[in-house]
Chain A
């Protein structure tokens, strides 16, 4: 079974230009990496909730992404600020949907057995 524990923290930063702060943390997971938030390696900017291909391709630290010449890296935490509450709410809804999608998609992909040694006898005799 594949699951994640997702913590959402909403904060209002008084006086800030974008006062509505959304903090997501994948605090626990089973059957899938906790590092589900993808960032640009070049400038550390947030990119997206991982898709399954990201889990295969991108490392879980920026240093490793730079060392291996990868464009992205992954972490388990995301902080984004918004100017308006409704935009923040839309972002939350979308992000939860993407996390749900990647959890299910990864579970589907990883449940397909692949690997190990098999010996089969093929013959013209049926």
Chain B
């Protein structure tokens, strides 16, 4: 029996005759996008739907004839479809059709998608948890505990699946960060201590089977948290705060400069305290600044920009507190990035971090070359420092997926604002002229299944 999930009606496959690589397509990603998981020691990559993670969307096998890859493909597609996939050529061929091959799994007329059991099951949840733990806006504490949960989920089904990165390495990465949390970061866990400790008891048992020393370490971390136990925060499972507002990516350049805003100490304070002594040069325009797609669901709002003496200063309000720069440690931070539009490429000129969280305004100052012309600058605010400059179309597409992923996160934790978030996602898809994704998003606003949050969902910032 195939594990493709209940959304697919058929599966197609084709093989690149030169490289031997196999591509299997099941269904395109829904309005919240997809996550990937590497299996068979990296020989197989699967794509899993974010909003409905029991659904396999696609599979790519570098060397489908390798025994490890073959076993995983058979596990996912079932013996019949995998045997057919092994024989496909360069043209797309149907290797599985629900009505013909598994009529008993065809949903009854009127049945809701996502309600049938089976599909990817824990494999899908593992894929989702690894991606969420590495999410662009997770707090340090959520990242630490989320990596442990993701690694444990992967460990629990790792036998024969060959998940990459190595699940034990994921757990260790999480525990290493857990140890490194400072007091403020650790406090972030306290309202959810009961939930983490409860889950942690199971995590340590699973871990003990694979690495007893690591399990002992985890038990010690949980014991520290157990000391902080307090009643489970009602906000974890219910409505959290006021309803979110719409996308707020516009520049409100007429707002007052937050000159009096407090900023982080040390050199940063000096930088902000010392106003540039020379008057601003006459410049024809201020560069357009956009938020990275991952920040579109947040309350971030560009407040003001200044371009003086080859320094671009940008003030932003409502930025999430996370991720933080941690003085060269493993924090990722929120970055101001400046590119030069050269027509055929966007050349990175500068990157500058936004100063520490916890204040009403946050500021970044980038130094630019003398030759930099404002009219040719492309500027963004993002947590994804390594991503290239995206075209407007790509940015809109990524933003729509991020709005969907945000709504899916809130849906998993039973947040009362989730339907509204799905509406925002649907609107974003509508604006792109993609009615199918918009309709899917509206359908997902009212899930029939119960809530099953990942630990990162409970700890997520926005």
The answer to whether A and B interact is no
